[in-house]
Amino acid sequence: MKFYKPLLILLILLQGIISWSQVNHATDNYLQISPRIGYDFPSYHNNTPYIDYNGGLEAGISVDYYWNWIGVGIDVDYIKNSPETTYPTAGLIDFDGSAFNSFNVTEDGITRLFYGIGPNFQYRNADRNFSAEFNSRVGLASIKGGRVSHEGSTANSTDVPLNFHAGYDVGMP
């Protein structure tokens, strides 16, 4: 966790330097590289009670080539989130009436990847000091991880599952 904050600051500074150093395109054909970094606020709507999904790092890069106002581009995006169990543990008792005295929680992070390619369209004014782009991408995506296991145990029993989500393993190998 201590690693993320310095990395985030470094990447934000690097993105600012790269964006600031880009020149005004005087030619009609050119290559454009666009790194990006941010924070993802996940919105999983998948009927998993007592599991919240926390935000995390989002990073990506686009490489686009333009022929005047039309172009083609490729994207790679990486998103990392973490699930968190919110199952209430206060006052829980086992089926035999004994109170749970310890809990075992396992929470695996979620990784999402996207690789895409597609057309770009761009408007640039005559002075070439303003441009607006529309990018469309088709590609492959994967989502992996997110396993959550919350177990409780009493003095008289082995671990009893309280909340469980198997996670995801969808997409590319």
Task: Give the three-class secondary structure for 131.
Answer: strand
For position 90, what pLDDT does the model report? 86
**For the whole prediction, is pTM greater than 0.85?**
no
Instruction: Find the mean pLDDT for residues 99-113.
Output: 91
- Phi, psi dihedral angles at 168 (to 5 degrees): -125, 150
pLDDT-based confidence at 159, cuts 50/70/90? confident
Share of the chain above pLDDT 90, in %: 47
The string of DSSP letters for 17-86 reads: HHHHTPPP--SSEEEEEEEEEEEE-----S--TTEEEE-EEEEEEEEEEEETTEEEEEEEEEEEEEEEE-
pLDDT-based confidence at 74, cuts 50/70/90? very high
| The two three-digit tokens of residue 56, written as one number | 């995390």
